Structure 1
Amino acid sequence: MSQLVQTDGYVRLRDLTEKLQISRRTVYYDLEKINYWLTQNQLDPVQYVRTVGFYVTDKTKRALPAMLSEVDKGQYYFSAKERRAWLGICLLSATQPLFLQDLMDKIGVSRGTTNTELNVVKQELRSAQLIVQFNNKQGYTVVGNELDKRKMLLQYWSRILSMEWKAADSAQKVSVLCRLMERSDFLQITVEQATKIYEQIESCEQQLGIQFTDEMIDHFALSLVIICNRLRHDCCVKVDEDKKAVLRNAAEYEAARAIGEALSDMFAIRLTDDECCYLTINLLGAKRNDVNDEGNSSIEIHHLRRIIRLMVSDFEKQAYVFFQNRTAIEEQMLIHIKPAYYRIKYGLEIENPLTETIKQTYPEIFKITRKVAAHLESYTGRKASEHEIAYLAIYFGGWMKEQGSKPIQRKRALVVCGNGISTSRILQSQLESLFSAVDVVAAISLREYETHSYEVDFVVSTTPLPKRGLPVFVVSPILSDSEKEKLLSQVNALFSEQNKSNHSVKTILDIIKRHAQILDEKSLQEELTQYFQGGPQLIKEIRKPMLAELLTEEMIQLKSEVSDWREAIRLAAAPLLQQQFIEQSYIEAMIESVQEMGPYIVIAPKIAIPHARPEQGVKRLGMSMLRLERGVSFAEDGSRDVNVLIVLAAVDNETHLRALAQLSSMLSEGENLETILGATTTEPIVELIQRYSQSE
């Protein structure tokens, strides 16, 4: 229902099935139940217009928020995700014996379903080093470290609140937080107390001279509520003495103490020095929209800058891309890396709602990011979670997409995103690729939108916004094909001066005026325009060929030896030149690159992948291979012998990534390299390439 309420206009059946990951049958079944409830409460049911989609009337939209807050818990059916979150919260927060019947009553399902969901939750908790135990007297109890318990409580509460907060503005979030806490018997807080918590976070920003992302402010407010609840039940954290000594020197420590004093007064609790240090860790790990320049000369910042340089360099090498403005990229990346470093170092994992989407939509970028993150993991001494890798992948993906040409500045758009800079960057780059005549002037937070004005033609947001007279299009942070189609159609309908339907709409309006009274002519014209809008241009993701499509038999050469590495590159690239994949200038650019930068193209013993920039002579995407019986040295001291050269001719920063990932998998196996080195014909090499070129 929230998908329909948050959308101005119509929602297609296809959009609902893709967005919610459910079948058409489930959509119709759920809408039948929704319409029954709406009718019982004297509200207009969900409407449907053939070929356009579903919509909710303004009367129903206005009445729903107040009515939903009064819905009896027994009338509401939790989704599987909600059921598991509530079970996790119950298990981790229990202060008295908790049995299966209590859990059944909480989520309102049968014994069998409760047991099924409970087993899933047990596995989730086990992954966080927490064990669910049961005995006949005490019921269910969770055994483990307090830090791990708080981490999982934060994840479960975030799943519950994110659904409610998504449709709420800044003021409404306070009421939502209080209402859900009351429903859960977790920590009873008043609207006044919740407001003071948010005010304390704002004071913290001012004290530190920083700005948290919108998403992180909510995340941190929730963390403070969880801390207060745990302390009320004498569940305290312990921080190692050596860590406390370091944390006390951080500026965030004084801010944490100020927050602690405010919480102590509000909830009659006492925050120990360990708890203040725990708050300090949370502040250090909080996602920010900027970096405080103060203290950037510290040893830690110096090391982080070095790590960023290594990560960006490795990403360029492994993805075979060239970022044109390295300095700007590395400075912006520090905004993300600094808090990520503290989260990884101290085990404060935050759940990234886009992790699965990133893995499915940009699998190659995710895999490469996983590899280059090894530099950060080595420095922290801990492995980064998939959620952290996904945040980094968003960052790299955004910069990769931004390498294209600038759009023609005809219309001005604003991006509003509560998930931080990395997420807004990839959304911004998608919009710039989608609309050649639109200039995205800025990507800002929800709070910035609420407090500042911008001269733009329309707004694209990941969250519903208060109405300001500007067209607002609400989308996902990563656009699916159908969302691209819909957005393209909506913007074209809004701004196309030669829209073929304009004349038809005006004619119909004139006819209606002669026979009926129009209550809202502007809205009627907008809906008719949308209805008569022609079919949108189909947007497709860039096709990424498999390895076998590029490295074909005619692109593979077997030779005994060459005079030097320059001849090796020229010979390896010869098939691409002959087939007009590249120009001669590309071969010279590859040689010059090695002369200037050294043997960086030698990616592993005996293997090199020469390449240069696409604009230096690439006509179309291609690969070629040269296998030498006697290795050729790529270093002045005679080292770096190479027997296998794979020349890559990339046309952009994305199209080659699938083939490159398959090549990387193939060459990572030692026995495969031996097969290539020992081949007397191209046949075994071609068979090997075919084996690693399966669709994922």
Structure 2
Amino acid sequence: MDIELKSRTVYLIRILLGSEDGLDVTSLLEKLGVTKRTLYYELEHINEWLKASGHGTVKVVSHRVILFTDNKDSLRNDLDKTRSYYFSIEERKAMEIVMISLSDEPVTLEMMRTFFDVSKNTILFDIRDLKNELMQRNITLTSQVKSGYLIEGSEASVRKLIGEELQKLHNPGVRTIIRAMMQKSLESMTSNNIDFHEIARCLTRQYEKDIKGEIFLHETEFVNIMILVSWIRSTRGYIFNMSSVEKFAISNSASYRSVELSVQKLQIHGLKIHPMEIFFITPLFLGIHTSTFISEEQENSFIAEFTYELLRNFERISCISFVDKERLKSQLVYHIRPLYFRLKYGITSVNALLEDIKRMYPVIFRFTAMAIRETDSEICSMITDDEVGYLCIHFASHLNEKRIIKTSGASVDRILVVGESNMATSILVEDQLRSLLGNSFKYELVSTSKIRDWMLDDYVLIISTAYNSNRFTCDHLVSTGPIISDVSKKRILRIINERGTSDEISGKVNDIIKIVGEYVKDEIARTNLHFDLFRLMNKEAVSDDMVTVDGIDKKVKNGEILQAGSGKTWQEVLGAGCRSLVGEEKGLRLFDRMVNLMLKNGNKTFRITDDVLLVHCPMQGDPEANVDISVAVAEEPVDFPNCSGASVIVFLSTKDNYTHWGVLDEVYSYFQVRNRLNGILELYGSEEKMIAQGV
């Protein structure tokens, strides 16, 4: 018989043999994944072979493909004699690994030569190549006289290898051969001739029933085959294992309990699956088919590197340096390992203390979330606020949040007084506000010429002393003359109660006013009492060692911006920033220190946005160290070491691990609003830069 059949042709004849009424053309096209033209070409080729072998013909009748033959058994026998698949080199190597790993009999050189119908040298070349490839995975391929070829290594690595090779063998005909081989292996090892593939399908259906819904797997058939892989390998004595942390994560899932129950039912009927294999089968139902790691060692290395990068990012973002870094790293690894497995297997973790953590450690929580986003790993997008809260606790345990809050300028509500350019009236009004409210707020003065609409939301209250304040409006604006009237006082009080962040204090004041209200009938007296109580209760909230650095918004409004011009090097811009922070003489010393630090590791910069760069200038140990910021605007982007061009550079000097956090948090919050950058460029940038930014 001169006409040869390819695998798809043989597969098509076999499925037509199994159908009395034929198969619908549309369903065949979907099953084979081919065009109608290709299908009709295959049918033409089949008819040539059937005619030459005397086995009948195929016809398309009413849009159905039907096989007409007088002797199906004879046709099956001839198909069995026909080599049904011509493996490519890659497919042949994949099939060799599958055979060696899953066959119930020794896989020898002669056995593979016969199966693939190739020369002995071809198989030897394949084995040589496979040995080199498997060596990269810490897996060995050896041969023994009695047992044939053997694949040995970590069972988790071997299972992953088998899964990857099976994915390469996706041809329906080859899958049929593989299923037949696996069925034969299980029958031989268990002395049971039940349909093991059907048992695997039953496990899947039982899982659907247990979770009360339809399972959506990438490839259910592949999962069923991998269940049989688990059965064969464990029966041969190759038991799957994983770390106790990973087992703990999986055992807490509903999927694990479903598989565990199914395995117990099978054991009752004499079908044994090793209990450890539940930890292999469960992730299959969870949809975990592939991973970038080929071994447990690589996975451990990833966790360690992720932890190091997270810690490094947190230091960069918070502008600190942990003293006991190794101890903190060990604690983080201890938590990140189960976190990684929870993400890997899609197991949701609910942090019951999340809101308390956010309330107690607001700055640390925000910086932790930022550090995670900066970490170069695809798992970062899967980390929820619940998980961020857990990591926040570890960072908080090495920091003093109370001290951070105590020295945080950003934790204080701000009041803006807007007036004419001479500011005399504004100063008078500020004094009256301090008498009414005390030092529980941060007061800032600005002239009407420098105010912009995008600045208004930064303040809890805005007082305008200008004659014409119609050029800007907002809900929390109070217009007043040189002396604040009683009407204005009542409006100020209402706005502070509505917008102030001191909810607990405002609540206590209101409770007291309600109690004594019946004894204080006069509205003016009630208003003054309200202010007195508010001022008294806020006295403890303000610390003498509070950092009173002008924030970035005030620097912008007051025009305290370094205009770097064009064509400047990073050293020139850095020098200007250092001098602006600490003066000419100390600026030179700070500049020299910063150049060495920047060239050494470049870990003193952090990109806030595409156009804004933070440069951390640590001054720990300097007796005249202070906390301050300086802002530079360059007409052309400036490239710093390990950091590509930025148009706005924010310099921050620090003296310890705490006192700068409020100022720093304010800087980050400031640039979260896009039009703030546009506002800076509008005031201080070049015309070309403004056009580029769409200003």
TM bucket, shorter chain: 0.3 to 0.5
When normalised by structure 1's length, the TM-score is: 0.36
When normalised by structure 2's length, the TM-score is: 0.36
Structure number, greater radius of gyration: 2
